[in-house]
């Protein structure tokens, strides 16, 4: 019998994930009875309620489960999986709705009223909002990684960052579906840079893999050692890049992520060199200091600014930006709290 939340969130999720190796037909057949299907969705709903109420175990289980589902959609495998299951789709949508609801709860709704009506003022306003956020020049980067982190601290940093950085090219590939004109071209330029401009050795996922290899991080660690905040940081961009009705959120999310990256990676580079770690292990971050500065500038000019003509789209971009800023801040606050001065 399937585990339920009457045991623990972890047991429920572990049992459900173990069934992902079934074919879509077999997975759906396992929940073909109305009571079994209703109980599954009830458990997922209850998991979301507990996570929203602050239950740390439920929050981890929720994001772990969503990450495992997204893995079915973004990773190639040799065997059939439950990827296309209609039952699993219902589970996924409940998890996504709950995740979006909880992320919206971190946003002060009054900020939407301050969005300028003039599209020409939107980009400066968005940048200023980002500058005023706690995550801007966060002490984890500017104090800890730069001045105090040990090689083991850098290993932990790379492990957690793998939730997003290791597959950024796939996010761009998903994001450009349905776009056109200047916007599609800008996404394509970003994607081609991520692909090393055609040089396999310089593909950014390959470069990030060198850092993982340097620290001897195993596949099992990459799959099973991420924190709740790191899992969320990986899940949010997949969520907003895979749905066309969240394209505005994806644009805002990526805009602030790219804009913050050069300064953050400069601190990573300083700390890396302070420790005398191998130069080839920092190529990924060294490249992104310049590349992301260019990406951010072009993104604001050729994607964000043209899209700012519509009030609804301005709001969506702000929502996506705040999802990134707020979730990143919680992620960095947690790591910093685990590494007191």
Enter the tokens of residue 338.
Answer: 């685990």
- The average pLDDT across 200-212 equals 83
The pLDDT-based confidence of 202 (bands split at 50, 70, 90) is confident
Q: What residues contact residue 57 under an 8 Å CB cut-off, 6+ apart?
A: 8, 9, 10
CB atoms within 10 A of CB 183: 19
Q: At what angle do helices 247-275 and 168-175 cross, to 10 degrees?
A: 160
Q: At what angle do helices 311-337 and 86-104 cross, to 10 degrees?
A: 80
Give the model's pLDDT for residue 218. 86
Give the model's pLDDT for residue 173. 92
pLDDT, one tens digit per residue, over 50-109 is: 999 999 999 999 999 999 999 999 888 878 899 999 999 999 999 999 999 999 999 999
- The average pLDDT across 206-224 equals 83
Burial 82-110 (b: 16+ CB within 10 A, else e): bbebebbeebbebbbebbbeebeeeeeee
Q: What residues contact residue 201 under an 8 Å CB cut-off, 6+ apart?
A: none
The pLDDT-based confidence of 206 (bands split at 50, 70, 90) is confident
Question: What does the alpha-carbon distance between residue 59 and residue 53 come to, in Å, rounded to a whole number?
Answer: 9
Question: What does the alpha-carbon distance between residue 294 and residue 266 come to, in Å, rounded to a whole number?
Answer: 15
Give the model's pLDDT for residue 23. 95
Question: What does the alpha-carbon distance between residue 272 and residue 191 come to, in Å, rounded to a whole number?
Answer: 27
Give the model's pLDDT for residue 5. 57
pLDDT, one tens digit per residue, over 313-341 is: 999 999 999 999 999 999 999 988 887 65
Question: What does the alpha-carbon distance between residue 189 and residue 182 come to, in Å, rounded to a whole number?
Answer: 11
The pLDDT-based confidence of 6 (bands split at 50, 70, 90) is low
Give the model's pLDDT for residue 290. 78
What fold is seen in the domain 116-337? Heme Oxygenase; Chain A (1.20.910)
Give the model's pLDDT for residue 124. 96
pTM of the model: 0.93
Give the model's pLDDT for residue 340. 62
Which SS3 state, helix, strand or coil, does residue 117 take? coil
CB 183 within 8 A of CB 298: no
Shortest CA distance to 324 belongs to which of 226, 265, 264, 257?
A: 257
Sign for the CA dihedral angle at 25, 26, 28, 33 comes to: positive
Phi, psi dihedrals of residue 39, rounded to the nearest 5°: -65, -40
Give the model's pLDDT for residue 167. 78
Question: What does the alpha-carbon distance between residue 202 and residue 208 come to, in Å, rounded to a whole number?
Answer: 10
Give the model's pLDDT for residue 291. 78
Listed by start position, the domains of the chain span 9-104, 116-337
Which SS3 state, helix, strand or coil, does residue 203 take? coil
Q: At what angle do helices 247-275 and 228-242 cross, to 10 degrees?
A: 140
Give the model's pLDDT for residue 105. 97
Answer yes or no: is pLDDT of 229 > 60. Answer: yes
- The average pLDDT across 172-184 equals 92
Give the model's pLDDT for residue 288. 72
End-to-end CA distance of the chain: 48
Question: What does the alpha-carbon distance between residue 162 and residue 28 come to, in Å, rounded to a whole number?
Answer: 32
Residue that is written with structure tokens 């596949």 in the block: 219
**How many residues are listed for the chain in this entry?**
341
37-41, 66-70, 157-161, 308-312: least confident range: 157-161
């Amino acid at each position: 019998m399937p585990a339920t939340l009457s045991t623990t969130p972890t047991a429920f999720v572990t049992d459900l994930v173990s069934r992902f190796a079934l074919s879509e037909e077999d997975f759906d057949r396992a929940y073909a009875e109305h009571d079994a299907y209703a109980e599954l969705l009830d458990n997922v709903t209850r998991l979301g309620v507990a996570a929203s109420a602050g239950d740390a175990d439920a929050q981890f289980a929720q994001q772990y489960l969503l990450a495992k589902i997204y893995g079915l959609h973004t990773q190639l495998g040799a065997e059939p999986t439950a990827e296309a299951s209609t039952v699993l789709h219902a589970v996924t949508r409940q998890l996504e709705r709950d995740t979006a609801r909880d992320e919206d709860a971190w946003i002060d709704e009054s900020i939407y009223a301050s969005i300028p009506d003039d599209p020409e003022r939107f980009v400066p306003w968005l940048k200023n909002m980002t500058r005023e956020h706690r995550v801007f020049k966060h002490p984890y980067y500017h104090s800890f990684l730069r001045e105090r982190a040990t090689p083991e601290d850098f290993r932990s940093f790379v492990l957690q960052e793998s939730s997003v950085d290791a597959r950024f090219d796939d996010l761009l590939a998903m994001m450009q579906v349905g776009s056109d004109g200047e916007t599609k071209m800008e996404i394509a330029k970003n994607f081609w840079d991520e692909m090393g401009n055609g040089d396999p050795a310089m593909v950014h996922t390959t470069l990030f893999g060198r850092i993982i290899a340097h620290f001897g991080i195993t596949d099992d660690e990459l799959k099973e050692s991420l924190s709740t905040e790191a899992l969320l940081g990986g899940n949010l961009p997949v969520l907003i890049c895979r749905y066309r009705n969240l394209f505005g959120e994806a644009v805002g999310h990526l805009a602030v992520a790219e804009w913050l990256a050069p300064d953050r990676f400069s601190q990573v580079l300083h700390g890396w060199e302070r420790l005398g770690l191998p130069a080839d292990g920092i190529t990924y971050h060294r490249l992104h200091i310049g590349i992301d500065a260019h990406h951010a500038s072009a993104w604001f000019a050729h994607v964000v600014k043209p899209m700012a003509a519509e009030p609804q789209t301005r709001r969506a971009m702000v929502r996506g930006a705040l999802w990134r800023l707020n979730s990143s801040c919680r992620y960095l606050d947690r790591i910093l709290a685990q590494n007191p001065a």
